[in-house]
Amino acid sequence: MKSDYNKAKERAMALCSRSEKCISDINTKLVSWGYTGGEENKKIISELIAGKFIDESRFASSYVRDKIMFNKWGRVKIRIMLRAKDIGESIIDKAMEKIDEEKYKEMIRSELDKKQSTVKAKNRYDLKGKLIRFASSRGYEQEEVYNYFEKSNYL
């Protein structure tokens, strides 16, 4: 019969094989599985890192790409969520540098255009407020949102 340590390590390896995970995600999983041994968890995580199952920079790059492509999140929200996962600032910065600026700006314009067509507002001031709140909830930079208002048929 396998020891709890080996069982936990194999489960974590299987989890990392299916999708990118960061140290924080794996530590949370180990605790949720009932493996609360602090030193054992650290040992499992260090073995996963050594075996290239966990790579924080690979995770951050994948996270940034996926959140922009599928969730249509902005840089602000992505950065906050990566910090919440205890990813280092230098790793976050490198991952954020890979964002295609033109595609990113086009995504923001497209999302704000879609939202503008579905929002019910009393007047232009109300519409602008609702669009700014929407953009803020998605994590878009204020500068990009105000550029949208300047360049669109808004006013």
Per-residue pLDDT tens digits for 69-111: 999 999 999 999 999 999 999 999 999 999 999 999 999 999 9
Overall residue count recorded for the chain in this entry: 155
Q: Who contacts 3 (Cβ-Cβ below 8 Å, separation ≥6)?
A: none
Which pLDDT score is estimated for 155?
A: 47
Dist. CA 150–CA 145, nearest whole Å:
9
Binned at pLDDT 50, 70 and 90, residue 4 comes out as: confident
Which pLDDT score is estimated for 1?
A: 41
Listed residue (143, 134, 86) closest to 111, CA to CA = 134
Q: What is the mean pLDDT of the chain?
A: 93
| pLDDT over 70, % of the chain | 96
* Side chain identity at residue 58, one-letter code: R
